[in-house]
Structure 1
Amino acid sequence: MNKSKTLPKRSEVPAEYKWRLEDMYASNSDWEKDLEKVKQLAEEISRKKGQLGQSGEQLLETLRLQDELLKTLDQVYVYARMRRDEDNANSTYQALTDRATSLSTQVYGAISYIQPEILQIPTDQLEKWMGEVQGLDHYRILLDEITRFKPHTLSAEEEAILANVSEVASAPSKIFGMLNNADLKFPMIRDENGEEVELTKGRYVQFMESKDRRVRREAFEALYATYGKHRNTIAASLTSSVKTDVFYSRTRRYPSALYAALFADNVDLSVYDNLIATIHEHLPLMHRYIALRKKMLAVDELHMYDLYVPIVPEVEMNIPYDQAVATIKEALKPLGEDYGKVLEEGFSNGWIDVYENEGKTSGAYSWGAYTSHPYVLMNYQDNVNNMFTLAHEMGHALHSYYSHKEQPYTYADYKIFVAEVASTLNEALLMNHLLKTTTDKKQRMYLINYYLEQFRGTVFRQTMFAEFEKIIHAKTEQEEPLTADSLSEIYRELNVAYHGPDMVVDQEVDMEWARIPHFYRNFYVYKYATGFSAATSLAKQILEEGQQTVDRYLQFLKSGSSDYPLELLKKAGVDMTSPEPIREALAVFEEMLAEMEKLTAE
């Protein structure tokens, strides 16, 4: 596609580079028909309230109606949002999105009685009905999942109280969000040209990658000095969030806040503990990488503000979109002929919105509805990072394709715990292909460093975050007070342990906990590290073992939520209750690290 200095209007983008949302609705009038259908189904399901415990037939009829309602709502909502994402200034699709959002709120209000009513049905009665009423056994997994929460579900009156305080309980996150995104003002610093520039969170990332060490240091010191001025306020916000997690876990009779968070995915505590323990076992590898970074930057002391500057001089790797597509198709050939056919279908038949245009939503994602093929939004630029992003999003897209094709709507969606496996595995296979085919030494070093940084940021760093979360929740549960000082001390000790003797752990970074929004979404970040490890382990098995592993992996992609995440991964060949997948992933890290050490010594 021809590039110009100004972004094209949506109408100016060639059709072959735009997704084909007409595959969902040929016209907006068709969308309007489904909108009305959703309203009618919502009214119909509302009339079922109070009847679920009367008979198995009533329960089956309501669950089928719920499937039809939500399946249609999904398509209505997804279409409106993706149309708006094409051009956020388009008032027609702004209006459609608003209407779809409002309708979603109404629908979820209309079906809110279903789960509480199911929980009121005795378990032996449910079991009896499933044996007697043809078709009800289809919902066994769903009903088992609902009843699994019965020991942690309160009376209707108590549940109503918890529902009413939910907005108050979300206050710490909202307060932090307003402070972090609206009220915090950062000072001016001098850029590489010596000119005064205002520091922002967006510019901070760029400054930390600057070749000028003074710029990195000034940005680092200015950022944390700003957070430091609000240290007690942010500490109060974070500790209140932790206390909220503990309150809910105790109120719902869970052994701990960590147990409560993992219970939703039916994940054993050993998975979380194994991750932290195995990473600690391999911290010498991280320390080796830090030592290599210090050597390659040729500095007497490596500081925390030296962590993000590239250690390999920039390499010109211009990769147009069509070249990226060809490379990805070649790289993913180990996944077999069927996967390759679906991948070709996605690249050729209106799944992908490729280039940036005026008003288009930024970033990248994969999305879609059960009744349509998946879609991928890109804002493609001709570089390595965007090629990896495309491979990543197509991993999500094919996971959705297989899951939707093979599973009924009830079990078609997959859990967040496994969501990053398919996308990250594609990246691992792409990296393997590039390293096998790249002969230029500088390009090879650039690619290896790219991969090493993924490990550092996704496995080591996210595990450090996960360990911090575990410590501060445990202290709260043991009635130990958390203050700005104690939070900073805990965070400092973790940084020293994770980065090793070659890193000067600057005092400023003790405040980093104050700027991590993920800490307000308790025990979430560990999934980044487990997902990356599982994908790396599976990619290694696919490359070494071939078809047998490929078959298991494709079955995993087809499984949706027909079983719990850990069980699905076990069937694929990865047991996350064991430390082995993490060790296998870190063996890849060690292999890459050793090659980089060798290349720098030449």
Structure 2
Amino acid sequence: MTTAMPKRQDINPQLKWDTNLLYNSPAEYRKTLQEYKDMVAQFEEDFKGKLIDSPTITAALKRYEECLVIDSRLMHYGFLNLDVDKMNVELAALANEYQLIFAATAPRLSFLETELGLQDEKLLKQVISEQPQWTSYLENIIRQKPHQLTADQEELLANFAPTFRQAYDNYETTKFEDMTFSNFEANGQTYQNSYVLFENDYEISHDTELRRASADSFYKTLRAYKNTTATTYLAHVKNEQIQAKLRGFDSTIDYLLFPQNISRELFDRQIDVIMKELAPHMRRFVKLMAKSHGLDKITHADLKISLPSDFNKRITPEESKQFLMDCLGVLGEDYVKMIQQAFDERWIDFAQNEGKATGGYCATLYDGPSYILLSWTGLMNEVLVLAHELGHAGHFQLAKKQSILNYEPSLYFIEAPSTANEVLTCNTLLKESDDPQFKAYLISELISRTYFHNMVTHLLEAAFQREVYTRMDKDEYLNGDILCDIKLQLLKDFWGDDFEIGEDAGLIWMRQPHYYMGLYPYTYSAGLTIGTAMAKQLEEKPEEVVATWLETLSLGASLSAQDLAQHAGVDVSTDKPLKDTISYVGSLVDQLEKLI
């Protein structure tokens, strides 16, 4: 018997997201693409070289907002459809049509921020006083002044901008179109392997033979593409390094932190404190899980297992709706209505099918739905992923109170609402149960999904990034083997000598698309630090905290990440929230030791 992934066309429509909420047909999408191209050309004609007074700047920014809203809708329609069916030539053509329009229009829009950056600071502050909805956006332009290039240089870079994502596109092509995973044998049965099957099911399976055999099969294929993937990734890093030098930053890391408006101290703190202080708790946890499974050794293929339990039953998407509405009900009636809407209007793609992107994400349109990508397994692990992505949805639906120019907060804060939902969901269930076995199961899932994923998996990726950027800035030679050595050593440093971290573990760096999105991985642990503190507050004094938390989410990018956290009652200028979070994980492991 061989398990196989179904084709997209064979999936029940109720398990697919509905992108017709954006455009009724490809014809309507194509028509809007052309209209948008004309709109941008008119924008350039009306405002280029004319941003010399407050009324003109105000008129330009209002039109610019309109352009951004339409561009977002077009981009999402082009790529959301392709993300769930990457081998579909017609969908690839639709996405390519957007890319061509983007390549033609992005340079024609780029003059706006360049010319604003060249204006006298007094003029920009005058616009801020008259149009406070753009305060954060314009203050950020003022902040960028020391790193701005000449108008001609900025325009040249803008024309090259479409090529800057080529490394990511190449990575995705290698991952989803070129990689072919061989079938493998486990327990006398033949299984098909793929990114989706491995990452969403096999890797966390409680069947040791299946889990380890799937890992052998998976990493065998990754190894065959190691050098191609390394060349792709290092080209991306070199691109960032060149831009950092052009703009006068001391390091590539400083350049990448600048848009987040976060200090190097906060970045390093997340990595160094977690590597040192969380590692002992996670080692205890994994050893407990290994003992519960009767393992005589712990390999890198065993790190993500949770507690074996009779409670680990499959949950349908429909069952998960009421489950999450109940657990997140403390956030209020409007928040629950948003969850209901996400299910009823089919914002969520639950399907597991051939050619679908891996992992999970939430992509919100400023004037539309929050689309959530999953590959639904029905396990508690996946329910927590959905709670996480609904956290992003709730955040950005609330942030629409801001201008689209002040909409997306710093990456440092971006994962706080999502991780808070995960912790809140599990802690709500823990409070409601008196069954020690169920409590042990939930704690196991909370640690293995929420804390492991955000403060181990992604944190180790952040440590890997820091090492790569540091070496590149020192002009050290890097290749696929060296990248594997860096990753392997970081894993061994974190897990210590009691774990058998084999050579294949060095290939784990190849799995993460976030490496092509700046310094994203460390922000998961930063967000979870804030999220853990907020979940605790929401549980202990909801009547005082809920309104403040929802207001914080509605502020979008109108405050810095530190100020947003402070507004919600979490002071990340100190290491206390991070150390409190690590202590909380330690207390969860303590509880597990008593329960099992």
Q: TM-score, normalised by structure 1?
A: 0.82
The answer to whether the aligner puts 1:595 opposite 2:583 as a matched pair is: no
Partner residue, 2:321? 325
Aligned partners of 2:330 and 2:542 also within 8 Å: yes
Pick from 99, 105, 108 the counterpart of residue 106 of structure 2: 108
Partner residue, 2:55? 57
* Displacement of 1:422: 1.8
Residues 169/355 of structure 1: CA separation in 2 closer, same or farther (3 Å cut): closer
Aligned partners of 1:52 and 1:62 also within 8 Å: no
Pick from 481, 503, 506 the counterpart of residue 507 of structure 1: 503
2:46 counterpart SS class: coil
- Alignment of structure 1 residues 312-351 onto 2, 5 Å: 312-313=308-309, 315-336=311-332, 339-340=335-336, 342-343=337-338, 346=341, 350=345
Partner residue, 2:286? 290
Residues 599/23 of structure 1: CA separation in 2 closer, same or farther (3 Å cut): same
Distance, in Å, in 1 between the alignment partners of 2:589 and 2:388 is 23
Residues 302/267 of structure 1: CA separation in 2 closer, same or farther (3 Å cut): same
Partner residue, 1:551? 547
Distance, in Å, in 2 between the alignment partners of 1:589 and 1:396 is 23
Residues 233/443 of structure 1: CA separation in 2 closer, same or farther (3 Å cut): same
Residues 546/515 of structure 1: CA separation in 2 closer, same or farther (3 Å cut): closer
Paired AA for residue 431 in structure 1: C
Aligned partners of 1:351 and 1:376 also within 8 Å: no
Which string of whole-angstrom CA distances, capped at 9 and with x for unpartnered residues, describes residues 342-368 of structure 1? 447636864645775999978865445
Q: Which moved more, 1:94-103 or 1:585-594?
A: 94-103
1:535 counterpart SS class: helix
- Alignment of structure 1 residues 122-521 onto 2, 5 Å: 122-128=120-126, 135-160=130-155, 162-163=157-158, 177-184=172-179, 189-193=184-188, 195=190, 200-205=194-199, 206-209=201-204, 213-221=208-216, 223-224=218-219, 227-228=222-223, 235=230, 237-279=232-274, 280-313=276-309, 315-336=311-332, 339-340=335-336, 342-343=337-338, 346=341, 350=345, 352=347, 366-372=362-368, 374=370, 383-404=379-400, 406-454=401-449, 455-483=451-479, 486-521=482-517
* Displacement of 1:590: 1.7
Aligned partners of 1:9 and 1:357 also within 8 Å: no
Residues 71/314 of structure 1: CA separation in 2 closer, same or farther (3 Å cut): same
Q: Which moved more, 1:156-165 or 1:426-435?
A: 156-165
Which string of whole-angstrom CA distances, capped at 9 and with x for unpartnered residues, describes residues 289-315 of structure 1? 132133223233222222234441453
Partner residue, 2:69? 71
- Among all aligned residue pairs of Structure 1 and Structure 2, give the percentage whose two residues are the same amino acid: 23
* Displacement of 1:593: 1.3
Paired AA for residue 47 in structure 1: E
* Displacement of 1:268: 1.1
Aligned partners of 1:325 and 1:347 also within 8 Å: no
Q: Which moved more, 1:323-332 or 1:176-185?
A: 176-185
Which string of whole-angstrom CA distances, capped at 9 and with x for unpartnered residues, describes residues 147-201 of structure 1? 3222112223433554566677666556555555555555564322165x66544
The answer to whether the aligner puts 1:523 opposite 2:519 as a matched pair is: yes
* Displacement of 1:498: 0.9
Partner residue, 1:539? 535
Distance, in Å, in 2 between the alignment partners of 1:167 and 1:41 is 19
Aligned partners of 2:147 and 2:248 also within 8 Å: yes
Distance, in Å, in 2 between the alignment partners of 1:238 and 1:379 is 26
Residues 448/59 of structure 1: CA separation in 2 closer, same or farther (3 Å cut): same
Distance, in Å, in 1 between the alignment partners of 2:578 and 2:477 is 34
Residues 577/52 of structure 1: CA separation in 2 closer, same or farther (3 Å cut): farther
Q: Which moved more, 1:582-591 or 1:460-469?
A: 582-591
Distance, in Å, in 2 between the alignment partners of 1:142 and 1:386 is 36
Distance, in Å, in 2 between the alignment partners of 1:253 and 1:544 is 47
Paired AA for residue 112 in structure 1: S
Paired AA for residue 598 in structure 1: K
Residues 360/367 of structure 1: CA separation in 2 closer, same or farther (3 Å cut): farther
Paired AA for residue 564 in structure 1: S
Distance, in Å, in 2 between the alignment partners of 1:97 and 1:86 is 12
Distance, in Å, in 1 between the alignment partners of 2:514 and 2:11 is 38
Which string of whole-angstrom CA distances, capped at 9 and with x for unpartnered residues, describes residues 19-73 of structure 1? 8888878999998997786456434312124333432222221111112333344
Which string of whole-angstrom CA distances, capped at 9 and with x for unpartnered residues, describes residues 216-255 of structure 1? 4454445445555665665555444444333321221111
* Displacement of 1:379: 7.2
Distance, in Å, in 2 between the alignment partners of 1:239 and 1:33 is 38
Q: TM-score, normalised by structure 2?
A: 0.82
Partner residue, 2:572? 576
2:440 counterpart SS class: helix
Paired AA for residue 538 in structure 1: M
Distance, in Å, in 1 between the alignment partners of 2:12 and 2:104 is 38
Residues 292/167 of structure 1: CA separation in 2 closer, same or farther (3 Å cut): same
Aligned partners of 2:387 and 2:418 also within 8 Å: yes
* Displacement of 1:284: 1.4
1:48 counterpart SS class: helix
Residues 436/182 of structure 1: CA separation in 2 closer, same or farther (3 Å cut): same
* Displacement of 1:263: 0.3
Over the aligned positions, Cα root-mean-square deviation in angstroms equals 4.3
Partner residue, 1:119? 117
Aligned residues: 588
Paired AA for residue 283 in structure 1: A
